[in-house]
Structure 1
């Protein structure tokens, strides 16, 4: 069996009857001094219809490596499942935890070799004993990019300026988490395809920790995002 065999293609007779569907989300991963923080909104949309208001777009690939998913939910779930399997096999054979870079490479190979059939934008982030915390972006097409922070989804277009201004190297865990929540809130306030609650996962040498911001507590005004709450 070939390790990176193409995922099952859609039958031509079926695919020609499927109309394109607009989907959106906002995902963001940030490195800080000691680890990484992954964050995502929770809205799954199908055109103008909200299919799920509380979707979890942060999926574990191993104990200390997680993946953020944007694009087609079915496509990204399929990639995640394959990568989980490959990682489990790798760790069983090697007897040690996989590095974030290797996990990202597995996802990249699947995304690239099936780029004509998939709509998948991915971010892989986590912590390993070789490189510490690291973030890898895998946008549509299967390119693999290492960066201090990465974002994706339709809402990301609204926060490039925000992230360029407020991200800084060597942030503490609390500073990085505040940055992630504010950036996601900013995108959710402006992108109709992003919304719901905010889920975050913090990963360091001690492992992952999940957190949650209910939709009712997500700030929606610029003043709140900048730290100056407006009345």
Structure 2
């Protein structure tokens, strides 16, 4: 994960052997998170793209962090695994104090902000966009951080294509006292919009929730799709001069 400088014997020339992630290889697409009446809901599909090929169809990108937080990631899967190792060490170190306290979602989000920004400053970024949500002491928290350390909190957040196509739907239809069922339907609507427009998306998705009681990651399931729209059959109709 670092760059090594190697000098050739008897020469003033240097070779730079790069050992860091220069290009993302296996990647996941959008993650969407929203607040609802009892806590936080998050969803992501289970596709893993090898370049432009949808190679893997059972990649889990929603993971619990400690007692109070839930993390979702889009982008490079191996870098996400590296982030999970960082968080395992953080939670273990926190537990070693044995002081009856535990890290909340705000603290974990701040930690991720620093990690992503630090790696960006070393020109060795982790190629991920992250969504971090949680509940502690009755307070709901939801935030996001990009691969260069740009971060913010909101009532609903999304990464990737979701930030462009799902956020307008969420702005129109989200409200603070949504029930679990209403929130799931809204997330499914957003994921269906993404499925029809994002070539890297698949219809197999996972939903996770976090409340005061803890994290629940539900079994994967598939959205029903409809591909008989006339625009799908003749996508170039009316496009004069197209190929």
User: TM-score range with shorter-chain normalisation?
Assistant: 0.7 to 0.9
> Could you say which structure has the higher helix fraction?
1
Residues 15 and 180 of structure 1: is their aligned pair in 2 closer, same or farther, counting only changes over 3 Å? same
Equivalent residues, number: 213
Q: Per-residue deviation at 1:190?
A: 1.4
Kept in 1: contact 2:26–2:76 (CA 8 A): no
Greater relative contact order (CA < 8 Å, ≥ 6 in sequence): 1
1:95 aligned residue (82, 92, 100) = 100
Structure 1: tracts of 5 or more residues without a match: 1-7, 224-231
> Could you say which structure has the higher strand fraction?
2
2:132 aligned residue (124, 129, 147) = 124
Structure 2: tracts of 5 or more residues without a match: 5-15, 230-243
1:26 aligned residue (16, 27, 30) = 30
Question: Alpha-carbon deviations, 1:178-227, whole Å to 9, x = none?
Answer: 21122112212210111141101111111122223522x34457x9xxxx
Q: Per-residue deviation at 1:19?
A: 5.9
User: TM-score, normalization: structure 2?
Assistant: 0.78
Alignment of 1:18-167 (within 5 A): 23-93=27-97, 94-115=99-120, 116-117=123-124, 118-129=126-137, 132-167=139-174
Asked which structure has the greater CA Rg, the reply is: 2
User: TM-score, normalization: structure 1?
Assistant: 0.82
Residues 81 and 165 of structure 1: is their aligned pair in 2 closer, same or farther, counting only changes over 3 Å? same
Q: Per-residue deviation at 1:112?
A: 0.8
Give distance in 1, aligned partners of 2:23 and 2:17. 13
Alignment of 1:183-222 (within 5 A): 183-215=190-222, 217-220=223-226
